[in-house]
Amino acid sequence: MKRSRSDDHKYGRARGVAVFGSPGIGDADSSQNLTLTCERFRRWCSEHDFTLDDEPGSLTDLDARLDSWNSDVSHHGKVDLSNEVGIYLGSVIIKHVGGSHWTVWPNGHPVIRLSSGEELDVTRLTNERLNHSG
Quickly state the pLDDT bin for 89 (edges 50, 70, 90).
Answer: very high
Identify whether 7 is part of a domain. Answer: no
Identify whether 10 is part of a domain: no
Residue 100 CB partners (closer than 8 Å, separation 6+): 93, 94, 112, 113, 114, 115
Q: What is the per-residue pLDDT for 11?
A: 56
Domain contains 68: yes
For residue 133, name the pLDDT band (cuts at 50, 70, 90): low
What is the chain's mean pLDDT, rounded? 76
Mean pLDDT of 34-42: 77
Q: Give residue 109's domain range.
A: 23-132
Is there a domain that residue 16 lies in?
A: no
**Residue 61 and residue 83: Cα distance in Å, rounded?**
18
pLDDT number for residue 93: 96
pLDDT tens across 52-88, in order? 899 999 999 888 888 777 777 766 665 567 788 899 9
How many domains are contained in the chain? 1
Please give the C-alpha separations between residue 121 and each of 1, 34, 112, in angstroms, as whole numbers.
Answer: 24, 15, 7
Least confident of 47-51, 58-62, 74-78, 118-122: 74-78
CA-to-CA separations, 53 to 10, 58, 77, 78, in angstroms, rounded = 30, 7, 24, 21
Domain presence at residue 3: no
For the cut 80, the answer to whether the pLDDT of residue 94 exceeds it is yes
Give the lowest-confidence range in 29-38, 42-51, 82-91, 100-109.
29-38
Residue with the larger pLDDT of the pair 110 and 11 = 110
Would residue 5 count as lying in a domain? no
